[in-house]
């Protein structure tokens, strides 16, 4: 049997209160009567009604004030209020709407009209309650998925006998499509930075698949061009039609840096010997957009003190109050100015500069970046 819906009726006229109560009880409602606004509000806090029926004209606290207090109470504000007005006066309706009333019935009109409007309010409330329950369940699921995704991202610092790494992950939403990873495989260090299109659960799922694939398939022997080609086909086979990714993959063996690009933004390399920062921008195809795509592999020699900065496009898509985009030259200058600083100090400077650039509290896009300094 369905649970009977509870209605609080507030009316200072005892006769009208009794008539409305009997009518609604005969229509299957549980009714709690109150002869004043104060009494009705106290009653509501104890029984959590499904709706209020409130007379507009009452002494001490009239129906408008009762309604205002209901809508100001965090525990009651979502409960609909049907106001009984003394006439069809437009002024009463205006005042009632201003107080937060959801529906109006002229007092003394056909009781079936009262019933029909009350049931309409309750249907809307049921829909809203169901949406809130669904949203709460989705929020819980997203929070769990967020924790899972955060577990996929490695620690923000990493060290080997060859490099020091610091990384930042700044999501714009509960679940982000930006991703970085680094790991050792048979003496080779792999660094992977990617930006999956979109946000939310679909992007997070694709990120988890990317991580699993890279850790399973990346080896020191395979060509990075060939690896990116097989990764592209894998991503195409498991992603939604609208999903794709940009990415950069690096493999470090001693002083040899090999990399492949998939339509990802340029990376920066500060050369300690030359005392300047170089921008490496290589054309490349998107990952997962089309099958059977080809990619290129490139090689650089690196030395002690050299520093690589890899990032996702959320960084350069930020705008300041003047509407200017974040210029990557700012990072290049910080790499040069911080050439004698330890990597933690350099990281803190860049991270603070990024967070302080945009006046918007929530970033419009995800941001991830990885700083790698060679020893």
* Domain spans of the chain, in order of start: 6-141, 153-374
Q: What is the pLDDT of residues 141-150, one digit of tens each?
A: 667 666 766 7
CA–chain centroid gap for 51, Å, is: 33
CATH homologous superfamily for the domain 6-141: Response regulator (3.40.50.2300)
The yes-or-no verdict on residue 361 having pLDDT over 60 is no
92-96, 277-281, 307-311: lowest mean pLDDT where?
Answer: 92-96
When pLDDT is cut at 50, 70 and 90, the band that residue 174 belongs to is: low
CA–chain centroid gap for 263, Å, is: 25
Here the tokens at position 130 are: 């169901």
Q: What percent of the chain has pLDDT over 90?
A: 66
The yes-or-no verdict on residue 1 having pLDDT over 50 is no
Q: What is the pLDDT of residues 283-311, one digit of tens each?
A: 899 999 999 999 999 999 999 999 999 99
When pLDDT is cut at 50, 70 and 90, the band that residue 176 belongs to is: low
| Residue whose entry in the numeric block shows the structure tokens 């929530």 | 362
Cβ-contact 8, 44 below 8 angstroms: yes
Q: What is the pLDDT of residues 38-65, one digit of tens each?
A: 999 999 999 989 999 999 889 989 999 9
Q: What are the residues facing 248 on neighbouring strands?
A: 193, 261
> Does the model's pTM come out above 0.85?
no
Element at 200 (helix H, strand E): helix 200-217
Q: What is the mean pLDDT of residues 304-325?
A: 92
**153-374 under CATH 3.60.40.10, yes or no:** yes
Cβ-contact 37, 99 below 8 angstroms: no
Rounded to whole angstroms, the Cα distance separating 106 from 84 reads 6
Q: Are strands 157-159 and 307-311 parallel, antiparallel or unpaired?
A: unpaired
CB atoms within 10 A of CB 280: 15
What is the reported pLDDT for 30?
94
Q: What is the mean pLDDT of residues 173-191?
A: 85
143-147, 166-170, 230-234, 350-354: lowest mean pLDDT where?
Answer: 143-147
What's the Rg (C-alpha) of the chain?
31
Q: What is the mean pLDDT of residues 160-181?
A: 84
Q: What is the pLDDT of residues 3-19, one digit of tens each?
A: 789 999 999 999 999 99
Here the tokens at position 80 are: 């609909």
All residues at 6 or more sequence positions from 348 whose CB lies less than 8 Å from its CB, including other chains: none
Burial of 202 (0-12, 13-18, 19+ CB in 10 A): middle
Rounded to whole angstroms, the Cα distance separating 133 from 162 reads 52
User: Buried b / exposed e across 310-342, counting CB within 10 Å, b at 16+?
Assistant: bbbebbbbbeeeeeeebebeebbebbeebbeee
């Amino acid at each position: 049997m369905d649970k009977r819906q509870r209605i609080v009726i507030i009316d200072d006229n005892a006769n009208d209160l009794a008539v409305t109560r009997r009518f609604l009880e005969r229509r299957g409602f549980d009714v709690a009567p109150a002869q004043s606004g104060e009494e009705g509000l106290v009653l509501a806090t104890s029984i959590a009604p499904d709706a209020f029926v409130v007379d507009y004209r009452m002494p001490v606290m009239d129906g408008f004030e009762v309604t205002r207090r209901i809508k100001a109470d965090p525990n009651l504000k979502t409960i609909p209020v049907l106001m009984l007005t003394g006439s069809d006066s437009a002024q009463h309706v205006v005042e009632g709407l201003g107080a937060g009333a959801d529906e109006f019935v002229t007092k003394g009109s056909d009781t079936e009209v009262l019933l029909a409007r009350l049931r309409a309010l309750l249907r809307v409330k049921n829909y809203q309650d169901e949406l809130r329950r669904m949203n709460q369940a989705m929020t819980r699921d997203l929070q769990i998925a967020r924790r899972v995704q955060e577990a996929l991202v490695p620690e923000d610092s990493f060290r080997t006998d060859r490099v020091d790494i610091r990384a930042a992950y700044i999501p714009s939403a509960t679940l982000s499509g930006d991703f970085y990873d680094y790991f050792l495989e048979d003496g080779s260090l792999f660094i992977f930075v990617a930006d999956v299109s979109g946000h939310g659960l679909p992007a997070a799922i694709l990120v988890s698949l990317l991580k699993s694939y890279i850790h399973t398939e990346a080896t020191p022997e395979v060509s990075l061009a060939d690896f990116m080609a097989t990764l592209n086909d894998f991503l195409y086979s498991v992603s939604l039609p609208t999903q794709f990714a940009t990415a950069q993959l690096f493999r470090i063996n001693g002083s040899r840096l090999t990399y492949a690009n998939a339509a990802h933004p340029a990376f920066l390399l500060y050369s300690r010997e030359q005392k300047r920062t170089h921008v490496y921008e290589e054309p490349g195809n998107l990952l997962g957009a089309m099958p059977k795509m080809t990619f290129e592999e490139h090689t650089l020699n690196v030395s002690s003190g050299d520093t690589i900065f890899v990032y996702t496009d959320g960084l350069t898509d930020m705008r300041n109050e003047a509407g200017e985009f974040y210029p990557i030259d700012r990072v290049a200058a910080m790499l040069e100015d911080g050439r004698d600083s330890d990597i933690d100090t350099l990281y803190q400077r860049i991270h603070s500069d990024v967070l302080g650039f945009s006046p918007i509290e929530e970033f419009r896009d995800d941001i991830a970046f990885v700083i790698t300094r060679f020893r």
